Structure 1
């Protein structure tokens, strides 16, 4: 992350800056201290692929393509992805992606333990009353 903007006992606000100019890969936990999942931003220039295939033993990954287009490979399955694509990849399989568009491909990858989602927005959240400062 480029910088921590705000921090309190219950939150950390950090920034990578403009996603249009972002290059490389950045792991969010390094800046925010996240403990529940791993989130990373990545950008691949035209024609570039992640330099390795990888697999996870316990964590699934969810890739969200923010801009650009490319190809995604899971084991021996190859398919096209583009801005707005969301790809979930389970454990114990190889994965990789490549940018094929004229513009860089920027994506977010969210990694969490497979099968661990016990509560989510509609079952874990509760409405609260607080004065709005917005």
Structure 2
């Protein structure tokens, strides 16, 4: 099982890592390591032929799964469909979901859980262009 590490933090940011995703095993939640207040993010890996050992639903939070490698099947209530690297699946509240790895390689994914219907402004409707200067290459 991989372990999350807090690498750096300040008053307005935190930086954590689950390590390299190639060879990542298990499931790791990052909310506590980053101090997030708006969502929960987890990294997960399912070995070939494995599935999440339970169906589940959420009362308030939708989930967004991003498949980083591998392939499999995803089930939402009675709907079953193929997923693969690059798939993004949003699952609403109050419905059962599960996923299974069907590829010969492990399936690694990110799951982002946030309160359904809470997104107001986003991208450029929430952004403020500042006059700060980048010092990344200094």
Give 1:104's aligned residue: 106
Give 2:31's aligned residue: 29
- CA drift of 1:132 comes to 1.2
* Matched ranges for 1:4-19 at <5 A: 4-19=6-21
Q: Give the stretch that moved more between structures: 58-67 or 123-132.
A: 123-132
Contact 2:4/2:28 (<8 A) preserved: no
Contact 2:4/2:30 (<8 A) preserved: no
Q: 1:57 aligns with which of 56, 59, 67?
A: 59
Q: Give the stretch that moved more between structures: 122-131 or 44-53.
A: 122-131
Give 1:45's aligned residue: 47
Segments of 4+ moved more than 6 angstroms:
none
Using the alignment, how far apart are the partners of 1:86 and 1:131 within structure 2? 34
Q: Secondary structure at the match of 2:63?
A: strand
- CA drift of 1:92 comes to 0.5
- CA drift of 1:2 comes to 2.9
User: Do residues 94 (structure 1) and 96 (structure 2) align?
Assistant: yes
Alignment coverage as a number of residue pairs: 134
Q: 2:80 aligns with which of 78, 81, 88?
A: 78
- Structure 2, unaligned runs of 5 or more: none
Using the alignment, how far apart are the partners of 1:21 and 1:45 within structure 2? 10
Residues 15-57 of structure 1, C-alpha deviations (whole Å, 9 max, x = no match): 1110011100011102111110011000000000000000011
Q: Taking structure 1 as the reference length, what is the TM-score of the superposition?
A: 0.97
- Structure 1, unaligned runs of 5 or more: none
Using the alignment, how far apart are the partners of 2:57 and 2:5 within structure 1? 30
